[in-house]
Structures are given as C-alpha cells and as structure tokens.
C-alpha cells in the first residue's frame, strides 16, 4: 500500500468524502443517518467549516491527485456558547481500506489539530457493535462515559450508542478561553 498522507480537507475532496460517508450510511454500523450525501452537499458542508472544527483527509500517496481513503471531522456539539470548546467528531475509512490503520493515522493527526483549534473536549457516540471504532477510540485516549439505551430507531430496530470523550487538559483553563477571541 502507498504511503498514507494526512492533510486538511479541501473543497475538491467533497466527492470522495461523500463516497466514503455514503458507504458508512449504507453499512448501518456507523451512523443513524439514512440519506446519502451528494458531492455538492459535502462541498457546502466543507465551505461552512470554521477554524475551530478541523476536518482532515487521508490520502493514498503524496500526489495532489491521490485518492482520499478516509476522513475525520469535528462539528458543533451544542449551540449554546458555554459548549463552544466542545466538538463532536466522526471518522470514516473507505470500505476497501479498513483494517490498515488509516483511522489511527487520521486520529493521531486530528487530536493535535483539535488542541491547536482551542477545543477542550471532543466526543462521539458509537454503536456498541462497531468494535473497530470503539477500539480506535480507546487506543487514542478516549474513555467510555456511558451508554444511551434505545437512542434511536434504525431499520426497525432500537439501537444503543456508547458515549466516548477525550479531554484536552492543556486547553482547560481558568477562566475558559473567550469564544469572542476565536
């Protein structure tokens, strides 16, 4: 396999990000989402991102036209100002490249990017059956903080989710960072 290169996502990555996300939607083991995304929708999503919510891609090789084989992104946790330093994250790897440590490489670059962005915590909700994602989260320092039982109904079945979080103590300051300065 070629070298895996991690870099910030660009607008021209939207189509490949959509393909990978849609695989996760169809697989029914990574998201409650059921509506597939278009390249145009993912392009608009990328364009709306701010500097406090990193989005990175994993490329298969060093060429500018190398294929994107995975992505990770932070998004708003809640709209209230007091939660501005907390983000939810999602990480997806192309079906053909799972099990090759691409998720780990993405997370190893994503965590410092979140610290640099001023976030003090990232979290996610993971299906208990998604043992690969749970293992990845544990390997990069997340802790399981709970279980939402019957969190949502998907394909005729109530599904639970495990809540995971990682705190960035270096960004937990007294007083907290002023969001107006972001």
69 backbone φψ class: left, alpha, beta (φ>0; ψ -120 to 50): alpha
Task: Report whether pLDDT(176) > 80.
Answer: no
Kindly tell me if the per-residue pLDDT of 182 is higher than 80: no
User: What order of strands is seen across the sheet that includes strand 55-60?
Assistant: 4-8, 55-60, 68-76, 86-93, 121-126, 157-167, 143-154
The pLDDT tens digits for 97-152 are 999 999 999 999 999 999 999 999 999 999 999 999 999 999 999 999 999 999 99
pLDDT at 86 exceeding the cut of 80: yes
Burial call 87-113: b when 16+ CB within 10 Å, e when fewer: bbbbbbbbeebeebebbbbbbebbbeb
3-class SS letters over 71-139:
EEEEEECCCCHHHCCEEEEEEEECHHHCCCCHHHHHHHHHHHHHHHCCCCEEEEEECCCCHHHHHHHHH
Instruction: State how far the Cα of 119 lies from the Cα of 137, in Å rounded to an integer.
Output: 17
What domains are there in the chain, each with its CATH number?
4-181 (3.40.630.30)
Rounded average pLDDT over 27-31: 93
Backbone angles phi, psi at 176, to 5 degrees: -65, 160
Radius of gyration of the chain (CA): 16
Q: What is the pLDDT of residue 174?
A: 84
Computed over every residue of the chain, the mean pLDDT equals 94
| Residue 1 pLDDT level (bands cut at 50, 70, 90) | low
Q: What is the pLDDT of residues 42-62, one digit of tens each?
A: 999 999 998 889 999 999 988
Distance CA 50, CA 70 (A): 20
Mean pLDDT, residues 13-18: 98
β-strands 121-126, 86-93 pairing: parallel
Cα–Cα distance, 152 to 129 (Å, whole number): 15
């Amino acid at each position: 396999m070629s070298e895996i290169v991690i870099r910030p996502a660009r607008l021209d990555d939207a189509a490949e990000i959509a393909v990978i996300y849609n695989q996760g939607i169809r697989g029914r083991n990574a998201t409650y989402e059921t509506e597939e995304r278009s390249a145009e929708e993912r392009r608009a999503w990328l364009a709306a991102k701010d500097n406090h919510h990193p989005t990175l891609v994993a490329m298969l090789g060093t060429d500018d036209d190398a294929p994107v084989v995975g992505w990770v992104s932070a998004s708003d946790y809640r709209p209230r100002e007091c939660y501005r330093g907390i983000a939810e994250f999602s990480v997806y790897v192309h079906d053909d490249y799972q099990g090759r440590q691409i998720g780990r490489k993405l997370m190893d670059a994503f965590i410092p990017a979140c610290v640099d962005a001023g976030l003090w915590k990232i979290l996610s909700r993971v299906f208990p059956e998604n043992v690969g994602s749970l293992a990845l989260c544990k390997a990069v320092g997340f802790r399981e903080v709970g279980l939402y039982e019957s969190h949502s109904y998907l394909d005729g079945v109530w599904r639970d989710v495990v809540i995971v979080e990682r705190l960035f103590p270096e960004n937990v300051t007294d007083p907290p960072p002023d969001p107006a300065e972001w």
